[in-house]
């Protein structure tokens, strides 16, 4: 027996992209069903970045889930770039008139989950063998199994919000889909520690031994990263070794303010730049990590996903409320224009701030020259600042 369901938009993936899309559509009384191969506890347990552009804050306000963000988020008016101990502050508010808010993605996801549950909206967790079908027809559907039982959802549209390793992008035929990728020759080792941040704002440091980032989750909880080898394992980095390396890369003046302690989360993530085109195939629309990946250096992963969802929700709402399909028809082209600009910024900052094993002495001097130029030019600092606070949606 196959269980049958019907909805207007079937959302594959219950990360920030899928949850925010569902919430914005719910505000417009558009019906959705969300599927995820994991469950809420697992999804909320994934530790991700934590810097929100004002555009992302606006979207969360429109979704009605920004109360805790405004109560607990930390408004940051700048951040530091450091090169071998020399620090230069990028004055975000002075250069762009706006700021960012430090608030963990985990918290954004929790706020979105709470809203969906409060509205008693439909979820299917721990699903298997999800197969989007008939995407080029007016009656697409999504088949899946849950607890050994077959299900099929009939819908008008499928939103592929299932991340980098999902099934939605794979549903686009290989003779249609084009992908672009840069895999970086290093990873990021991240720790969470219940200790106050090193400084009031984030510090991105390029030291001859490698990159380090001093970040935070609150005034009592810090999130720190160091560049590590791709074949490193978390077990290679006991806390003592991590703190010693982290302090070395920050430099003595900054490290003097570092408070170390036992980490309660430690993980290694690879870095990649990735874009898939197009982001639409028939009545399938890709959004977030399903369509693109950025190295975390520019803190753009979540913000890019939110920007996609702002455009996709606008398009779907225009379709259902006024029969206007112009935004649906231009979604992929419009969103990809901005995706590529954000990919460029994330690639540029990653190239500037990391030690690349293959870099020649000349390329290392180019990194230093780029830093010195940014530190001495308001125009160069403003270029960094306007990308960091978030480019216009279109």
List active site positions: 76, 204, 296, 300, 388
The dihedrals phi and psi of 88, each to the nearest 5 degrees, come to -130, 125
Nearer to ligand APR, 122 or 199 (CB): 122
The dihedrals phi and psi of 149, each to the nearest 5 degrees, come to -105, 145
The closest of 320, 285, 290, 5 to 158, measured between CA atoms, is: 285
Considering only residues 280 to 299 of the shown chain, the ones binding ligand PHB according to CB under 6 A are 296-299
Using an 8 Å Cβ cutoff, are 343 and 336 in contact? Answer: no
Token pair listed for 144:
């899946």
Does 50 bind ligand PHB (CB under 6 A)? Our answer is yes
Nearer to ligand APR, 162 or 245 (CB): 162
Q: Tally the residues of the chain.
A: 394
Q: Cα–Cα distance between 272 and 348 in angstroms, integer?
A: 13
Token pair listed for 139:
């009656």
Q: Cα–Cα distance between 244 and 250 in angstroms, integer?
A: 10
Q: Least distance from C-beta 96 to ligand PHB, angstroms?
A: 17
140 binds, among ligand APR, ligand PHB, none (CB under 5 to 8 A by kind): none
Catalog residues that contact ligand APR under the rule CB under 6 A.
12-18, 35-38, 43, 48-49, 105, 127, 130, 161-163, 165-167, 288-289, 301-302, 305
Q: Least distance from C-beta 326 to ligand APR, angstroms?
A: 25
Measured distance between the N- and C-terminal CA atoms of the chain, rounded to whole angstroms: 47
Q: Least distance from C-beta 285 to ligand APR, angstroms?
A: 12
* Number of residues lying near ligand PHB (CB under 6 A): 10
Q: How many helices (H) and strands (E) does the chain have?
A: 12, 21
Considering only residues 157 to 216 of the shown chain, the ones binding ligand PHB according to CB under 6 A are 202, 215
187 binds, among ligand APR, ligand PHB, none (CB under 5 to 8 A by kind): none
Q: Least distance from C-beta 214 to ligand APR, angstroms?
A: 19
Nearer to ligand APR, 75 or 131 (CB): 131
Does 49 bind ligand PHB (CB under 6 A)? Our answer is yes
Q: How many CB atoms are located within 10 Å of the residue 345 CB?
A: 19
Is 137 strand, coil or helix? coil
The closest of 120, 111, 114 to 59, measured between CA atoms, is: 111
Q: Least distance from C-beta 225 to ligand PHB, angstroms?
A: 7
Half-sphere exposure of 191 (CA within 13 A, CB side): 26
167 binds, among ligand APR, ligand PHB, none (CB under 5 to 8 A by kind): ligand APR
Nearer to ligand APR, 97 or 148 (CB): 148
Radius of gyration for the chain, computed over Cα atoms and rounded to the nearest angstrom: 21
163 binds, among ligand APR, ligand PHB, none (CB under 5 to 8 A by kind): ligand APR
Using an 8 Å Cβ cutoff, are 33 and 325 in contact? Answer: no
Nearer to ligand PHB, 55 or 140 (CB): 55
**Is the peptide bond between 278 and the residue preceding it cis, with omega within 30 degrees of 0?**
yes
Does 223 bind ligand PHB (CB under 6 A)? Our answer is yes
Token pair listed for 214:
């001093």
Q: Least distance from C-beta 259 to ligand APR, angstroms?
A: 27
78 binds, among ligand PHB, ligand APR, none (CB under 5 to 8 A by kind): none
Q: Least distance from C-beta 370 to ligand PHB, angstroms?
A: 18
Q: Cα–Cα distance between 72 and 330 in angstroms, integer?
A: 37
Using an 8 Å Cβ cutoff, are 13 and 302 in contact? Answer: no
161 binds, among ligand APR, ligand PHB, none (CB under 5 to 8 A by kind): ligand APR
| Interface residues toward ligand PHB, by CB under 6 A | 49-51, 202, 215, 223, 296-299
């Amino acid at each position: 027996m196959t269980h049958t369901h019907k909805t207007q938009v079937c959302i594959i993936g219950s990360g920030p992209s899928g949850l925010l899309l569902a919430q914005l559509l719910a505000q417009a009384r558009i019906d959705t069903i969300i599927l995820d191969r994991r469950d809420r506890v697992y999804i909320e347990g994934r530790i991700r970045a934590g810097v929100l552009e004002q555009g992302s804050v606006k979207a969360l306000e429109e979704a009605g889930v920004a109360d805790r963000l405004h109560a607990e988020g930390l408004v940051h008016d700048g951040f530091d770039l450091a090169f071998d101990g020399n620090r230069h502050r990028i004055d975000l508010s002075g250069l762009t008139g706006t700021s960012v808010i430090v608030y963990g993605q985990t918290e954004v996801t929790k706020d979105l989950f709470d809203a969906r549950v409060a509205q008693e909206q439909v979820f299917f967790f721990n699903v298997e063998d999800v197969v989007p079908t008939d995407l080029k027809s007016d009656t697409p559907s999504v088949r899946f199994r849950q607890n050994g039982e077959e299900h099929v959802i009939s819908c008008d549209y499928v939103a592929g919000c299932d991340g980098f390793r999902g099934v939605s992008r794979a549903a686009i035929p290989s003779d249609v889909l084009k992908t672009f990728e840069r895999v970086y020759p290093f990873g990021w080792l991240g720790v969470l520690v219940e200790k106050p941040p090193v400084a009031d704002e984030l510090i991105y440091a390029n030291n001859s031994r490698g990159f380090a980032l001093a970040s935070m989750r609150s005034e009592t909880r810090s999130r720190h990263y160091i560049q590590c080898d791709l074949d490193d394992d978390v077990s290679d980095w006991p806390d003592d070794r991590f703190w010693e390396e982290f302090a070395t890369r920050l430099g003595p003046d900054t490290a003097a303010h570092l408070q170390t302690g036992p980490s309660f989360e430690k993980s290694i993530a690879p870095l990649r730049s990735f874009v898939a085109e197009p982001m639409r195939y028939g009545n399938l629309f890709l959004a977030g990590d399903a369509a693109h990946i950025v190295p975390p250096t520019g803190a753009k992963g979540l913000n890019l996903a939110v920007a996609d969802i702002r455009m996709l929700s606008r398009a779907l709402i225009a379709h259902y409320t006024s029969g206007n399909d112009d935004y649906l028809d231009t979604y992929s082209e419009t969103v990809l224009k901005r995706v590529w600009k954000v990919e460029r910024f994330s690639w540029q900052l990653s190239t500037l701030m990391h030690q690349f094993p293959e870099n020649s002495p000349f390329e290392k001097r180019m990194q230093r020259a780029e830093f010195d130029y940014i530190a001495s030019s308001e125009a160069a600092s403003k270029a960094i600042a306007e990308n960091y606070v978030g480019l216009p949606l279109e």
